[in-house]
Copies of this chain bind each other. A is one copy, B any other.
Amino acid sequence: MKKKHTIKDIAQAAGVSIGTVDRVLHKRGKVSEKALKAVTDALNNLNYKPNPIARTLKNNTIYSIKVLLPDPEMDPYWKRCMEGINETIEEFSAFDLEIETHCYDPSEPSSFSKTGEQLIQTENLNALLFVPLFEMESNALLKKLGEKQILSATFNSSLSNDLIDQHTGQDLYSSGRVGAKLIHSLIKPDSKIAIVHIDEAFNNAVHMKQKEQGFISFFKDFGSFQIQTLTLNSNEFEVKFPNFVTQFDTMDAFFVTTSKAYEIVKALKKENKKCSIVGYDLLPRNVSCLKTGEIDFLIHQSPKTQASLGLRGLIETLIFGKEIPKKQLLPIDIVNSENVDSYLI
């Protein structure tokens, strides 16, 4: 195989100077018909592709990227996202990048708006990666990003907004169906199933709803099950859950749409009951319940990978001009006690 062709080769083949080739490539006019044809022909014949390495070296700008995500101190789910971000920063540390991570309070839409507002005021901001927990506020932010020509990327939560340049996440409806299938494999016909939403502030409302719909859609095809839904705030959990259990007295299985499955385990222990449980996310407390058999399956949302891929996508777009797909769906990983370690590396 021969070396790739360079601008110089094109110039020679077309019988012009590299300046003219450059003008054709960048469409900055002042080129005669004749020269234009000669150059485009040469370009096609030799199958020219610009050398991204040389281009990047020449451009030589400090790209600025900001990341905005929920505070891991307030909800430990975000810790792994933070890890993913930091690893990616480390990975590209040899490049001229300025990457800053900022957090917002996941229970406060205004916190998101305020911080987001501040970030986009930054001089020469090239891209913003964020978790759009709040729909309205996120859309407002996206509008401003669009106006300022700042690249936008989201991960974890999905939004249907065409202004988003890149999204990394999971199909939550399918994820609900996966949960349903797992529960179904664990229980006998005519069992009683509970879908439980436990969250600090219901800001994951859309999230939880999509999973619930997927879950229910699966059981539509298997009539003989009773499904109840319980929506709870983390704080009111201790009071209301025991009530719920005694009311529907013999629950057989629980599908927990948030990362709080371990709470169910704790509560059931008190009541001295054993049920099938499927939940989300590999938080340490969930993992330990999984290993003791108190949780049957967890669905992994790959928070770390989501964050990494999101950030890496932006970086590669900026530095190498790589074209990143608008939507990148990650697989829905099923985790049990035996493969959990393979996900925790």
Q: How far is the CA of A61 from the CA of B4 in the complex (A)?
A: 11
Are B57 and A1 touching (Cβ within 8 A)?
Answer: no
Cβ contacts A159-203/B at 8 Å (1 or 0 each): 000000000001100110110111001100000000000000000
Question: How many copies of this protein are present in the complex?
Answer: 2
State the Cβ distance, A84 to closest chain B Cβ, in Å.
15
Are A178 and B52 touching (Cβ within 8 A)?
Answer: no
Cβ contacts A314-343/B at 8 Å (1 or 0 each): 000000000000000111111111110111
Q: Does A115 contact B (CB under 8 A)?
A: no
Q: Does A54 contact B (CB under 8 A)?
A: yes
Within 8 A of B (CB), among A234-264: none
Are A174 and B338 touching (Cβ within 8 A)?
Answer: yes
Question: Which stretch, A30-38, A88-96, A132-140, touches the partner chain B?
Answer: A88-96
Residues of B within 8 A of A1 (CB): 62, 98
Q: How far is the CA of A296 from the CA of B330 in the complex (A)?
A: 22
The chain A residues found within 8 Å of chain B, CB to CB, are 1, 3-4, 49-54, 56-57, 62, 93-96, 98, 170-171, 174-175, 177-178, 180-182, 185-186, 218, 296, 329-339, 341-343, 345
Are B49 and A171 touching (Cβ within 8 A)?
Answer: no
A-B contact pairs, 26 of them (CB 8 A): A3-B62, A4-B96, A49-B94, A51-B57, A51-B94, A53-B95, A54-B57, A171-B342, A174-B338, A174-B342, A177-B338, A178-B338, A178-B339, A181-B336, A182-B336, A185-B186, A185-B336, A218-B338, A331-B333, A331-B339, A331-B345, A332-B339, A332-B342, A333-B334, A334-B335, A334-B339
Residues of B within 8 A of A96 (CB): 3-4
Residues of B within 8 A of A57 (CB): 51, 53-54, 57
Residues of B within 8 A of A333 (CB): 331, 333-334, 339
Residues of B within 8 A of A3 (CB): 62, 96
State the Cβ distance, A51 to closest chain B Cβ, in Å.
7
State the Cβ distance, A233 to closest chain B Cβ, in Å.
29
Q: How far is the CA of A339 from the CA of B301 in the complex (A)?
A: 12
Are A181 and B338 touching (Cβ within 8 A)?
Answer: yes
Q: How far is the CA of A343 from the CA of B330 in the complex (A)?
A: 8
Residues of B within 8 A of A337 (CB): 181
Residues of B within 8 A of A54 (CB): 57
Identity of the chain B residue whose Cβ is nearest the Cβ of A337 in the assembled complex = B181
Identity of the chain B residue whose Cβ is nearest the Cβ of A4 in the assembled complex = B96
Residues of B within 8 A of A50 (CB): 94
Identity of the chain B residue whose Cβ is nearest the Cβ of A100 in the assembled complex = B1
Identity of the chain B residue whose Cβ is nearest the Cβ of A97 in the assembled complex = B1
Residues of B within 8 A of A330 (CB): 342
Q: How far is the CA of A4 from the CA of B218 in the complex (A)?
A: 54
